[in-house]
Chains A and B, each alone.
Chain A
Amino acid sequence: MVKAYSQEYVYKHPWDRVTSASWRKFADPENKRVLSHILEVDTLSRKLDPTGKLYTTRAITVHAPGPWFVSKIVGQDICHCVESTVVDVQSRSMQLTTRNISLQKFIEVEEKIRYDPHPDNPTGWTICQQETRIRIKPLSALASMAEKVEQKCAEKFVQNSAKGREVMERICKYLEAESSGLAL
């Protein structure tokens, strides 16, 4: 059984700035305190095709402590994920897909995020659409408490999304100030 959760958020900043902020989200030292669940991010590959599409793969290690009954079963509280991103600069779209690659015998999580110019204000605003899908593996030891685990996961994702947005907003403001400083 798959549970899917969707969220939508509007950044009152142009797409260029929001997508720039997205790349800086995890590495920004001031923001690391807020996103403390992200332990390590490494870029594995990056390819640019002649049509202006940028493909990136990153390895993300997340600290994901669960409730005691999950930790007892799963036995660890860190999770390794892969994030694949495509930025199409011509059509102004950015899509990120993050999946776990460890703990797969217990759970499959897939998070998709899209950044597009907002239809009501394409040059000034950006719409962020996020969808998270959680599937507890049916024969795993977690299956009997699947609903509870999914609910806990969903709560965590919502919390982390909010933290992520907070960090993004801060970075956007910083980039905005920086660009107005330069444009004398």
Chain B
Amino acid sequence: FLLREQLWLCDIAIVREKKKFSSSTSPCAHLRAAYNNCFNRWYSEKFVKGQWEKEECVSEWQKYRACLSEHLEDKHLSGFLEAEGLVGSINQDKLENPADIADTGASQ
């Protein structure tokens, strides 16, 4: 694992410990469901049939991702997210800002 990824995962673990188990009341549940539904449709109807070039589910992913980062209350998270870019398609690197990545990369 990347160190950043491990740090983020540890933070998820900490926050979930605090919340105990409230899976049905997770604040991002609706956005997660919307993203998952979009992804599942894309996967079954396009990806496995060989059509994966077009960007899909980008806005659902961005909203879900924004919610996750908001609720994880984490300092390294935003850096991690920026470095990861707004994933969801093969065109995702066009959305990244190289300057932001350079800044957050140094904080490791």
- Residues of A that sit less than 8 Å from B by CB: 15-16, 19-20, 23-24, 27, 39-40, 42-50, 52, 54, 57, 59, 61, 63, 76, 78, 80, 82, 87, 89, 101-102, 175
CA distance A61 to B8 in the complex (A): 14
A-B contact pairs, 19 of them (CB 8 A): A16-B44, A19-B48, A20-B40, A23-B36, A24-B40, A39-B23, A42-B68, A43-B64, A44-B8, A54-B47, A57-B5, A61-B16, A76-B17, A80-B9, A82-B1, A89-B47, A101-B9, A101-B13, A175-B44
Given A16-B44, A48-B52, A48-B89; A27-B33 close (CB under 8 Å): yes
Do the beta carbons of B47 and A43 come within 8 Å of each other? no
- Per the 8 Å Cβ criterion, residues 8-43 of B in contact with A are 8-10, 12-13, 16-17, 21, 23, 26, 28, 32-33, 35-36, 39-40, 43
Given A20-B40, A46-B87, A49-B90; A80-B32 close (CB under 8 Å): no
Do the beta carbons of A89 and B52 come within 8 Å of each other? yes
CA distance A42 to B27 in the complex (A): 12
Closest CB in chain A relative to B31 CB, distance in Å? 11
Contacts of A76 in B (CB 8 A): 17
**9 nearest A-B residue pairs (beta carbon):** A80-B13, A16-B48, A20-B44, A48-B90, A39-B21, A40-B23, A102-B13, A39-B23, A46-B87
- Per the 8 Å Cβ criterion, residues 59-108 of B in contact with A are 61, 64, 68, 84, 87-90, 92
A/B pair count, beta carbons within 8 Å: 81
Contact of B90 among A50, A57, A80 (CB under 8 A): A50
CA distance A87 to B43 in the complex (A): 10
CA distance A165 to B68 in the complex (A): 30
Given A49-B90, A89-B50; A44-B44 close (CB under 8 Å): no
Contacts of B8 in A (CB 8 A): 44
Do the beta carbons of B5 and A47 come within 8 Å of each other? no
Contact of A80 among B16, B28, B39 (CB under 8 A): B16
Do the beta carbons of A40 and B26 come within 8 Å of each other? yes
Given A16-B44, A23-B40, A42-B12; A47-B33 close (CB under 8 Å): no
